[in-house]
Structures are given as C-alpha cells and as structure tokens.
C-alpha cells in the first residue's frame, strides 16, 4: 500500500525554507515522520577555551607546580626498640639497684596466692628475690607503721577563758610610744659670728672689677615726657590679695563722672522726645462702642442660638 502524502507533502530541508506556499500534511503518519526526522537540539554554545581570554589562561597556570599530596606513614621502615636495664650494669648505683626490686609485701602476697600453681624452680627464684628485696630501704619504709594520732580534744572552760582573755588583750591597739625630744645645745650669737664670717666668704674669690661700667639702654626722650593715662595707672596697681578676709566685693554701679558731664546733641534731644499719635485717624479711639455695619446685618445660626442660651443651674 502506497502512502500518497509521503511523496508530495513531506518536503526536503531546502523546500521548507525556500517555498512560502508549502502546506504540510497533518495526518498521523506525516506528523510521526516529521518528528523522527527533526531533532530538538539546544543551540550550540561556544567552548570554554574560546570564551576565556589568553591573559586569564596565562594567569590560571601555577608558577610552581607541585605533586599531588599523598598521605605517607611517619616511619616507613620498621624500627627496633632496645630494652635498657641500667640496674644490671656494674656501674649502677645502690639506689638504682634497690629501686629495681619490688616491695617485699607484694612478693609475699604473690607467693601465697600462687603457691599451688608455681613450679618448684620458680618458687626458689621467688624466695631469692624476697631475700634480696627484704633488706632494701624502700621495703623497710613500706613496712613502717605510723603512730596513731589521737583525736583532738575540746577546750576546758578554764582554757577557753584564758583564750578569750588573750584575744581581748591582743585585740587592743598598740600603745603609741612618745618620742623623746632631743635638746639641741644652743650657743650665743657672739660665739657664732666668727663661723658665720668664715662661711660668708666666697670659696673661689675673684678680682674686683675696676674698669668702666658699660652704659645700659637709654630711654627715649619721648618716653620721658609721656604721661600715663587713667587706664594704665589702674593696670599698674597691684592686685588685691586676701579678698576673702576683706569680705564680699561690692560692685560699683554708680555712673562715671564723664557721663554726668556729657552734653546731649540736638539729634539725641530730638530722639529723646516721646512721639504723639493725636493726628492718626482711628474710629475706635473716638467711638469705642461702635459696631461694624456687617455685624448688624449678620444672622445667628441655630448652633449659636443654642450656645447663647443660659445654662440650667444644678440643684
């Protein structure tokens, strides 16, 4: 059976884009063939190599490339451990030899516990070890029994009273010792004059200056003729001392004499005269009880009439 739509309706790749009069076939077989031929692919993106600049690729390379980290054991080769027994050496001291032996108490306890499980030869070795360690200093110290400590007894009433008296006596402040005044020997002034003259003499004497004295800076003629003003004279006076002893400082509020002697100018006298407002047109001043015409024509609202009524007096 031939399919008529396959020859005429299914165009090639070029015909679908070139011809604008193409009408595709919508039968089930044509749709299935069209879907099998056309693949839905995503647009191809440019490669990463082309998107990254040459400068970025150069900077991305490490300058000092290193090998990858691999965990390794600390000791790669087996190490033999040697057991050191210094107490067996001939140069070992007596203290080291005695410390190497166990306490007699532990050896005797082990002998009594494992007597039935130890061979005869091992028991003989254990007896020899007990004989060696029984004379060591550390075994003797381990067997020493400390004296029993008696329990502390309470204080009797007499002892408690003596203790309280001792506390009261020691709680008091120490008595302050008075220092003895040292009396210095005094001598009359006549006996000390010679010593004072000796001390007043310079240790390194100098020759007296016999030359002409250098003249100091001379004052200007204008300064000698100048007269000090009142302000300069006031500033030259020394500051008052011990103001608290003199009492509260009262401020002088009197007018200075220069102000009292001053004569006012014509302009000041003109400004000092009070202004008069007699010629000003003011209808309220002439007729204070007048009412404006608009107020006479106004009509009161219901709310104003309600508020104008007198309030009822409360009983």
- pLDDT value at residue 216: 79
Does the residue 129 lie in any domain?
Answer: yes
Does the residue 221 lie in any domain?
Answer: no
Q: How close are the terminal C-alpha atoms of the chain, in Å?
A: 121
- pLDDT value at residue 130: 87
DSSP conformation letters of 76-135:
-S--------GGGSTT--HHHHHHHSPPHHHHHHHHHHSTTTS-HHHHHHHHHHHHHHTT
Q: How far apart are CA 166 and CA 146, in angstroms?
A: 35
Q: In which region does residue 242 sit, left (phi positive, over 0), alpha (psi from -120 to 50) or beta (all else)? A: left
Does the residue 187 lie in any domain?
Answer: no
Q: How far apart are CA 85 and CA 52, in angstroms?
A: 71
The domain total for the chain is: 1
Q: How far apart are CA 6 and CA 36, in angstroms?
A: 14
Does the residue 104 lie in any domain?
Answer: yes
pLDDT, tens digit only, all 315 positions of the chain:
444 444 444 444 444 444 545 565 666 666 666 666 645 555 566 565 567 888 888 888 888 877 776 766 666 666 677 778 888 888 888 888 888 888 888 888 888 888 888 888 888 988 888 888 888 888 777 767 777 877 777 888 999 999 999 999 999 888 888 888 888 888 888 888 999 988 888 888 778 778 888 887 888 888 888 899 999 988 887 776 656 556 677 788 888 888 888 888 899 888 888 776 666 666 666 676 777 778 888 888 899 888 888 887 666
- pLDDT value at residue 286: 67
CA-CA distances (angstroms) from residue 56 to 63, 106, 120? Answer: 14, 78, 87
Q: How far apart are CA 281 and CA 296, in angstroms?
A: 23
Quote the domain boundaries for residue 131. Answer: 94-142
- pLDDT value at residue 26: 63
Q: How far apart are CA 13 and CA 35, in angstroms?
A: 14
- CA angle (187, 189, 192) in 5-degree steps: 80
Does the residue 287 lie in any domain?
Answer: no
Q: How far apart are CA 196 and CA 201, in angstroms?
A: 9
Q: How far apart are CA 97 and CA 203, in angstroms?
A: 83
Does the residue 122 lie in any domain?
Answer: yes
Does the residue 100 lie in any domain?
Answer: yes
Q: What values do phi and psi take at 31, rounded to 5?
A: -65, -40
Q: How far apart are CA 271 and CA 22, in angstroms?
A: 111
Q: How far apart are CA 126 and CA 87, in angstroms?
A: 19
- pLDDT value at residue 4: 46
Does the residue 255 lie in any domain?
Answer: no
Q: How far apart are CA 47 and CA 51, in angstroms?
A: 7
- pLDDT value at residue 163: 93
- pLDDT value at residue 168: 92
């Amino acid at each position: 059976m031939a399919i008529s739509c396959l020859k005429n309706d299914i165009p090639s790749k070029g015909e679908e884009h070139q011809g604008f009069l193409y009408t595709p076939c919508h039968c089930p077989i044509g749709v299935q063939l069209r879907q099998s031929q056309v693949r839905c692919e995503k647009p191809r993106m440019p490669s990463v190599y082309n998107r990254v600049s040459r400068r970025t690729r150069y900077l991305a390379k490490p300058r000092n490339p290193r090998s990858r980290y691999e965990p390794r054991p600390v000791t790669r080769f087996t190490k033999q451990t040697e057991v050191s027994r210094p107490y067996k050496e001939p140069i070992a001291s007596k203290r080291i030899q005695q410390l190497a032996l166990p306490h007699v108490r532990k050896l005797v306890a082990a002998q009594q516990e494992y007597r039935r499980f130890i061979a005869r030869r091992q028991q003989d070795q254990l007896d020899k070890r007990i004989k060696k360690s029984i004379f060591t200093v550390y075994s003797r110290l381990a067997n020493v029994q400390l004296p029993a400590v008696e329990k502390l007894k309470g204080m009797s009433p007499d002892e408690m009273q003596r203790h309280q008296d001792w506390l009261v006596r020691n709680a008091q402040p120490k008595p302050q010792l008075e220092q003895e005044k040292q009396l210095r020997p005094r001598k009359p002034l006549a006996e000390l004059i010679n010593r004072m003259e000796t001390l007043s003499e310079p240790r390194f004497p100098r020759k007296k200056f016999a030359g002409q004295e250098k003249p100091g800076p001379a004052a200007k003629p204008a300064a000698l003729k100048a007269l000090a003003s009142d302000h300069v004279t006031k500033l030259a006076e020394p500051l008052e001392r011990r103001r608290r002893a003199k009492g509260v400082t009262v401020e002088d509020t009197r007018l200075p004499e220069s102000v009292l002697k001053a004569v006012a100018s014509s302009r000041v006298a003109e400004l000092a005269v009070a202004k008069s407002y007699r010629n000003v047109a003011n209808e309220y001043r002439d007729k204070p009880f007048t009412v404006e015409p608009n107020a006479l024509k106004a009509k009161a609202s219901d709310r104003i009439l309600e508020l104008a009524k007198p309030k009822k007096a409360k009983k």
